[in-house]
Amino acid sequence: MSKYTLIVPIAADTDKMGTEMPYLFGLDSNGLMYCVKSIMGLPLEAFGDIYFTILRKHNLRYRLIEMMQIQFDRLGISHKTHIYELEKSTSSQPETLYRTVVENHITGAVLFKDADSYFTTEVYPENMLYVFPLDGLQMVNPQNKSYVTIDDMYYITNIIEKKIVSRFFCAGGYGIEDVQNFVLEYEKLSTLPQLHLSHIVYSLLLHQVHFRPQIVKEYQDWGTKEDFKRNY
């Protein structure tokens, strides 16, 4: 089986005041950290390695590695889970993922998974966007999503930030068959302001790289800290 790696970036510097732990490291009613819960709808046996990328200052302040290792032990995935620490926050989520991939020499297929959402699905080591229909949600902030259009042959033809161009939005899972494609595309686009993963996927689409949609189930969106407080 070829290499297949799951990467979860949680390196946003959300606590500018330095007084409160980022909510994604908090616990739900079952004692599960939300960032760890975010991957529990996936068939984790499919992945050879799992990376969580965090900020070193968060680990030093909140002892995150110890907390997370307990969670991994509980799930039986300690043997293949890695916590990668960044010395300082990055300018974007794609930069966090790029640093994680390049500095850990990750090759082959990857699945990038947002830490602020949960869903269940099968996973495939292919170019794939994990999507959910907007009309399947009871509560949502539609402005915080990237939307995809799908053609009659079941290929993704477009992805765009914060503009509702179809009923399907990206649920927080981005599959790349060869992570080197992501690396090269990021290096071309890295100077763009407010770079999102959707921009990199769109650029790959323009270069005739094909992506399939995979519709997920049981989608939960924790969103921003404000959304989280409002919904939970």
CB 44 within 8 A of CB 75: yes
Mean pLDDT of 20-44: 94
Tell me if 168 sits within 8 A of 148, measured CB to CB.
yes
Query: Domain 4-231, CATH 3.40.50.300 — does that match?
Result: no
Handedness of CA 193, 227, 170, 130 (dihedral sign): positive
Residue type, 135: D
Using the predicted structure, report yes or no on whether residue 224 has a pLDDT greater than 60. Answer: no
Band of residue 1 on the pLDDT scale cut at 50, 70, 90: very low
Q: Does position 201 have pLDDT exceeding 50, yes or no?
A: yes
| pTM of the predicted model as reported, rounded to 2 decimal places | 0.94
- What kind and span of H or E run contains 150? strand 146-150
Do the beta carbons of residue 129 and residue 214 sit within 8 Å?
Answer: yes
pLDDT of residue 192: 92
The answer for residues whose C-beta is within 8 angstroms of residue 103's C-beta and 6 or more apart is: 84
The pLDDT value recorded for residue 120 is 98
Give the whole-number percent of the chain exceeding pLDDT 70: 91
Helices 93-103 and 197-206, interaxial angle, to 10°?
Answer: 80
